[in-house]
Amino acid sequence: MSGALPHVAHPAIVAVAAAYFAIVVMISVWATRRTKTASDFFVAGHGIGLVALTVASVSTSVSGFAFIGGPGLIYSIGLAAMYIVLPASVTNVMGAWVLAKRMRLLGEARGLMTVPDAIGARYRSPAAQGLSGVAILIGIIGYMATNALAMGVVIDAIFGVGIAWGIWIGMGVTLAYSVAGGILAGIYVDVFQGTLMAAASVLVFLAVLKVGGGLGGISTHILAHDPGFLSPWGKAAPLAALSFFLVFGLGSLGQPQGVHKYYMLKDPLQLRWYPLLKTLGLILVLLLYFGVGVGVKSLVARGALAPLTAPDTATPTFLLRFTPVILAALVFSGVAAATMSAVNSFINIAAAVVTHDLPLALGRTPRNELKWGRISTAVLAVAAAVLAQFSGSMVAFLGIFGWGLFACTLVPALAIGLNWEGATKEGALASIATGLAVTLSFETLAYFKVYSFPAGVTVSGLSLVLSILVFFAVSWLTRTRAAAQIDPDVRLVMSV
C-alpha cells in the first residue's frame, strides 16, 4: 500500500468490523480445542475437506491485494495488470495434478508437514531441505512486514487509531488464533472471510456496472480519454506483461502459503474437482479487482470523480462514494481479515521452518514441536509488527521480492523435481542458491539505485528463468547420481 487510506470511521463500518473480529476470535477458540499435536498445528491433521481447502486457498491466493493494491494497479497500468491473474486456471490445473497429489501422498507416506520436508524427502538431502527453508524464511520476513503494515493501514482507516496502533491491534487479533489454533484456525478464518468476500466482490462489481453504464459505457469513456489503457498490453511494455504472466503463472507453484495447504486435504481423490472449484472461486473474488480498477478509471475519465491522489485509494473511494455503507463495511472488514489470514499463513510456515526444518537440516531431532511452534509464532509475529513500524521504502523493499523469491527458489526443486526422475540434489541446491543470489542482489541494487534492468525486464522473471536453466544444467551434469537419490516410496509417489 502506497500510503494511508481515507478514514471511513462510520458507525456501521466500525460495528461490522468489530463483529468480524469477534467471529475470528470464536473460530480461534474452536480451533484451539482441536489442536493437540504438531500435525494439527502445522497441517490441520490432514483433515480438511475439499470445499474448505479451496475457499481457504482462494483467500490466501488473493489476500488484501485483490481489494486494495490490485484495483489500484489496474487504474495505473490498465489491462497489463490482468496478466497477473489470467494464468489462474492453468496454474490451478498444474497445482492439482503436478504438485498437490504428489505432496499429499508424500505427506501420508512420510508424515511430512512442511514444503522443505518434501524437498528433503525427494532428494534425500537435509541440506536441500535447510536451504529451501532459509529461502522461505527470507521471503516471509518481507511478506509479514508488508502484510502487518497493510493491516495497520486498513484498521486505521476503519477505527482511526493511527497506523502504528493498527499494526499492533491487527497483529494481536492474528496472534489470538495463530498461537492457539495454528493453521486449523487460519483455514476456517479463511473460509469465513473468503465466502463473505466472494459475495461482496460480486455486489461491488454489479455496483460498478450500474454506475459506469455497463462494460460498454465504461469502455467508451476510457477509450475517449486514454486508448492505451485498454490495449492488449495496457500501459506497460509487452515484456513486462508477459513477465507478469510467467512469474504469477508458473511461479504460483512455488508459493509456500498455497502449496503448504496441499498437505491438509483429507481425501486426495477429490483433487479432480480442485482446479474447477478454485478457478470459479477466483473469478468471483477477482470481479472486484477488475471492476473497481476499470470503473474508477472510467469515472475519472468522464469527470465524475477527481483523479486519485494514490492508486491504492481506488477501492475505498469507490465504496464510500457509490455503494451502500453496509457493503463498504463488509469489504473493509474483509480486507482486514484477509491480511490477517495471510499473516497467519506466513507465520505458521515460518514457525515450521524454525522449529522443524532447520533443526533437521542441522542433524537435530525436533522436540516439543507444538510448544516451540507456538512460541516461535508469537516471536515472529512481534518481530513482524516491529519491522512494520518502519513504514515506507524499507518495508516496501522487503515485500517486493517475496513472490519472485519463492518462485525461483521452489518451482524447480519442488514442482519440477517431483515430476522428473532426472533431477538431482546438486541441481536442486544450485537452483535454490541461484534464485536467492540473483533476486537479492538485483533487488538490492535497484533499491539503492545502483543498477536497474531496462523497462519491461523484471528481476523475478529473470531469476525464475535462470534458476530453472541452472536446475536442468546441473542435474544433467550430475545425472549419474539421480537414480540413487530417490527412495523407493518417493519413486512410487512420483509414478502415480
> pLDDT at position 20, please?
80
* Mean pLDDT for all residues in the chain: 84
Comparison of pLDDT for 108 and 486, the residue scoring more: 486
pLDDT band at 39 (very low <50, low <70, confident <90, very high): low
pLDDT of 348: 82
| Segment (H or E) for 101 | helix 101-110
pLDDT mean over 452-474: 89
Give 148-170 pLDDT, tens digit per residue: 877 777 787 778 788 888 888 88
pTM assigned to the model? 0.86
Model pLDDT for residues 126-137, shown as the tens digit of each residue = 999 999 999 999
Q: Name the pLDDT band for 488 (thresholds 50, 70, 90).
A: very high
Burial class (CB in 10 A: 0-12, 13-18, 19+), 447: middle
Residue 146 has pLDDT above 80, yes or no: no
Which of 168-177, 264-273, 384-393 is predicted with the least confidence, judged by mean pLDDT? 384-393
Write the CA distances from 480 to 5, 41, 121, 425, 468, integer angstroms: 57, 40, 19, 12, 20
385-419 confidence digits (pLDDT tens): 888 777 555 555 555 567 789 999 999 999 999 99
Main-chain dihedrals φ then ψ at residue 265, nearest 5 degrees: -65, 130
Q: How far is Cα of residue 93 from the mean position of the Cα atoms in its chain? A: 18
Share of the chain above pLDDT 70, in %: 91
Kindly indicate the confidence band of residue 215, based on its pLDDT and cuts at 50, 70 and 90.
very high
Residue 180 has pLDDT above 80, yes or no: no
Euclidean distance between CA atoms 62 and 44, whole angstroms: 21
Please give the full DSSP string across 372-439, using - where no structure is assigned.
Answer: HHHHHHHHHHHHHHHHHTSTTHHHHHHHHTHHHHHHHHHIIIIIIGGG-TT--HHHHHHHHHHHHHHH
Full set of structural domains in the chain with CATH:
11-389 (1.20.1730.10)
Q: What is the pLDDT of residue 236?
A: 87
Query: pLDDT at position 3, please?
Result: 53
Q: Is 265 helix (H, G, I), strand (E, B) or coil?
A: strand
Least confident of 61-65, 307-311, 343-347, 409-413: 61-65
**pLDDT on residue 127:** 95
Q: Per-residue pLDDT for 422 more than 90?
A: yes
Say what the pLDDT of residue 182 is.
Answer: 62
